[in-house]
Amino acid sequence: MTARINMYFLIIENSRYLCAVRKSTEEKTDIRKLTEEQLTEEFISRGEKKFRAKQVMEWLWEKSSHEFDVMSNLSLETRQWLKDNYAINPVELEDIQKSSDGTIKAAFKLHDGHFVEGVLIPTKTRMTACISSQVGCSLSCKFCATGYMKIQRNLDPAEIYDQVVHIRNLAQEVYDKPLSNIVFMGMGEPLLNYKNVLQSIEYITAERGLGMSPKRITVSTAGIAKMIRKLADDGLKTKLALSLHAANDAKRDKIMSINETNNLEVLKDALQYFSQATKSRITLEYIVFDNFNDGLEDAKDLARFASSFPSKVNIIEYNPISEADFTNTSEDKLDVFADYLEKKGIVVKIRRSRGKDIDAACGQLANKK
């Protein structure tokens, strides 16, 4: 009996110790939240050479390290100081699902227990990562599974960056091909997490980061006009896509509440401003819903809107979700719709659904396993 009681108290003490360690770790600053300038100041304040900060940043953003112990060009004493004072909160690859068409959906666990999803979309010519910018979404678009989730929080730059690293590794491991493109089309509205999204792009594109070309990155927005203008003023070098889905205010109001405060006229002005400032063409994403936005009048509305600035149109198949009763348009209607746009001189591409069987297709991400 005494031995059993002693064992019980040992378990309690171990549990308390683990909780204390966990609390201590959680109280430490995530070193990836520091800029190189801030980290340089930290090293100088403890009497070390300022180039140590550059070495640490290379380990974090170029080599994607999640452990201080592997930073072999730092002394053991310096590594111990880093471990004692800072944390690295990695995004963990919790689960993957592979579709019959080769698409891979990844569930990512964040350090605070929240989950987000990302997708690897393979084609003959591209390996594209679709990544998330928020846990949940606040925009409540009626056709999108993420829109039915509550918004929890923004992702920080490192959490966005880690998604890219994981999906890049999957592309290499599963298909033996490098990641070629990134789209911010996963969970959340990127322009409502503006600062963190742009900072993540810096780390992804930097020479001492992942070194990807900004021209191979697309930021997709549901349409926040003032932030589109800010992107232009800040000199965004990535591509921009607008989730349009209706070029008629009355119809867009029904499926996208953001249109009530950012109507089509306001959006058109912002997109014209962006295009003129960046000299770039904007992609208009348009899901075709049966008997809602797939008629000839809808095509005419879209043609007028698309002709207001340099653009191209991606027509997207609708992917069903349990929360909504929309259905995809017929092939005949789709052909007539696309043909009208092409005759008006608009560049049109029909994007076929990928990963529908694992809830990985456009509009289906909702942390379902």
Give the tens place of pLDDT for each residue, 242-264.
Answer: 999 999 999 999 999 999 999 99
The answer to whether residues 178 and 219 belong to one domain is yes
Q: Does residue 359 surpass a pLDDT of 70?
A: no
Number of domains comprising the chain:
2
Q: Does residue 20 surpass a pLDDT of 70?
A: no
Q: Would you say the pTM of this structure is higher than 0.85?
A: yes
Domain boundary among 87, 111, 128: 87
Average pLDDT, integer, range 59-72: 97
pLDDT for the residue 146: 83
pLDDT for the residue 323: 80
* Residues with catalytic function: 117, 362
**pLDDT tens sequence across 75-96:** 999 999 999 999 999 999 999 9
pLDDT for the residue 36: 95
CATH number at residue 224: 3.20.20.70
The answer to whether residues 47 and 179 belong to one domain is no
Q: Which of 225, 192, 227, 220 is nearest to 287 (CA)?
A: 220
- Lowest mean pLDDT: which of 7-21, 25-39, 47-61, 75-89? 7-21
Q: Does residue 17 surpass a pLDDT of 60?
A: no
Q: With cut-offs at 50, 70 and 90, classify the pLDDT of residue 369.
A: low
Does residue 367 form part of some domain? no
The answer to whether residues 8 and 134 belong to one domain is no
The answer to whether residues 310 and 198 belong to one domain is yes
Does residue 230 form part of some domain? yes
**pLDDT tens sequence across 115-149:** 999 999 999 999 999 999 999 999 989 988 888 88
Q: With cut-offs at 50, 70 and 90, classify the pLDDT of residue 367.
A: low
Instruction: Give the three-class secondary structure for 265.
Output: helix
Distance CA(188)–CA(146), nearest Å, equals: 7
Distance CA(353)–CA(3), nearest Å, equals: 62
State the pairing for strand pair 239-243/104-109: unpaired
**pLDDT tens sequence across 147-177:** 888 899 999 999 999 999 999 999 999 999 9
Residues in the chain: 369
Residue span of the structural domain in which 24 resides: 2-87
CATH number at residue 52: 1.10.150.530
Average pLDDT, integer, range 346-358: 77
pLDDT for the residue 201: 98
The answer to whether residues 113 and 172 belong to one domain is yes
pLDDT for the residue 354: 63
Distance CA(18)–CA(26), nearest Å, equals: 12
The answer to whether residues 133 and 20 belong to one domain is no
Name the more confident of 249 and 4.
Answer: 249
Residues 356 and 319: beta-carbon distance below 8 Å: yes
Cβ-based burial of 319 (10 A; exposed 0-12, middle 13-18, buried ≥19): buried
> How many other β-carbons are positioned within 10 Å of the β-carbon of residue 197?
25
